[in-house]
């Protein structure tokens, strides 16, 4: 039985998270195809940073050379983050409130139309404390070797570099401990799909 920890006026929130290379986007797509509205935090960030996006003025104030003619030069921004250790925190202070505002509009809309369950697809769900507004948290997980291989293949980098990227994130073991449910993706796709279907049967029962 799924525990409903929060009260959102009849709306229930499923938090979805997992480290890079874990297959979170694949699971989010399965949930969306099953009819659950999904708020995609990564897609929201991309929209905020797109040409003319709402985040560009604040980013330009922090890194003037990164924004020219309402266009974000991600290479310039990336190099600035590497060169200035404290810059990433400053950028997060810019982005997080904008993402939360978009999330709140999403939740308000679905509360208003009487949606039963929505999904918050947020990579930093635990790190930002967003899990506290969720009724249930779903963590997507795979063995470390598979995770590193996926990232290396996707980004075209050595596995050693992929492991460095993984090391910057909250450990998968910690996320699994904080989860209400874990979906294993280090298996064949049909098996992941079966796990999601089984979870949804319980969620909607």
Longest dimension (CA), the chain: 53
Q: What is the pLDDT of residues 93-103, one digit of tens each?
A: 999 999 999 99
Torsion angle of C-alpha atoms 54, 55, 61, 66, degrees rounded to 10 = -110
Helix, strand, or coil (residue 138): strand
Average pLDDT over residues 9-13: 88
Helix, strand, or coil (residue 186): coil
pLDDT band at 204 (very low <50, low <70, confident <90, very high): confident
Bridge-based pairing of strands 67-68 and 71-72 is antiparallel
**pLDDT computed for residue 180 by the predictor:** 97
**pLDDT computed for residue 8 by the predictor:** 57
Among 143, 109, 136, residue whose Cα is nearest residue 13 = 136
**pLDDT computed for residue 9 by the predictor:** 64
105 contacts 48 by C-beta, under 8 angstroms: no
Which domains does the chain show, CATH number per domain? 1-37+118-205 (3.40.50.300), 43-114 (no CATH)
Average pLDDT over residues 22-48: 96
pLDDT band at 2 (very low <50, low <70, confident <90, very high): low
- Identify the residue whose tokens are 């020219």: 68
35 contacts 115 by C-beta, under 8 angstroms: no
Among 89, 117, 100, 82, residue whose Cα is nearest residue 200 = 117
Average pLDDT over residues 100-113: 96
The annotation places the binding site for ATP at: 21-26
- Classify burial at 138, counting beta carbons within 10 Å of its beta carbon; exposed 0-12, middle 13-18, buried 19 or more: buried
The annotation places the binding site at: 21-26
The Cα 62–Cα 87 span in angstroms is 8
Q: What is the pLDDT of residues 42-91, one digit of tens each?
A: 999 999 999 999 999 999 999 999 999 999 999 899 899 888 889 989 99
Phi, psi of 25 (to 5 degrees): -65, -35
**pLDDT computed for residue 117 by the predictor:** 97
For residue 65, what are the contacts with CB-CB under 8 A and spacing of at least 6? 73, 76, 80
Q: What is the pLDDT of residues 138-186, one digit of tens each?
A: 999 999 999 999 999 998 989 999 998 899 899 999 999 999 999 999 9
- Where is pLDDT greater, at 130 or 82? 130
């Amino acid at each position: 039985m799924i525990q409903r920890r929060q009260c959102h006026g009849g709306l229930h929130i499923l938090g979805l998270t997992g480290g890079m290379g874990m297959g979170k986007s694949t699971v989010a797509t399965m949930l969306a195809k099953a009819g659950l509205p999904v708020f995609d935090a990564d897609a929201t960030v991309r929209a905020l940073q797109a040409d003319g996006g709402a985040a560009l003025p604040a980013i330009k104030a922090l890194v003037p050379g990164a924004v020219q003619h309402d266009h974000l030069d991600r290479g310039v921004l990336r190099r600035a983050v590497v060169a200035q250790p404290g810059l990433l925190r400053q950028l997060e202070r810019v982005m997080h409130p904008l993402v939360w505002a978009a999330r709140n509009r999403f939740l308000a809309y679905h509360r208003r139309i009487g949606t039963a369950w929505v999904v918050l697809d947020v990579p930093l769900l635990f790190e930002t404390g967003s899990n506290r507004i969720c009724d249930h948290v779903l963590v997507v997980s795979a063995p470390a070797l598979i995770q590193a291989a996926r990232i290396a293949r996707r980004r075209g980098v050595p596995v050693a570099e992929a492991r460095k990227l993984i090391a910057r994130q909250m450990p998968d073991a910690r996320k699994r401990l904080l989860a209400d449910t874990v979906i294993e993706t280090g298996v064949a796709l049909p098996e992941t799909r079966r796990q999601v279907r089984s979870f949804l049967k319980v969620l909607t029962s």
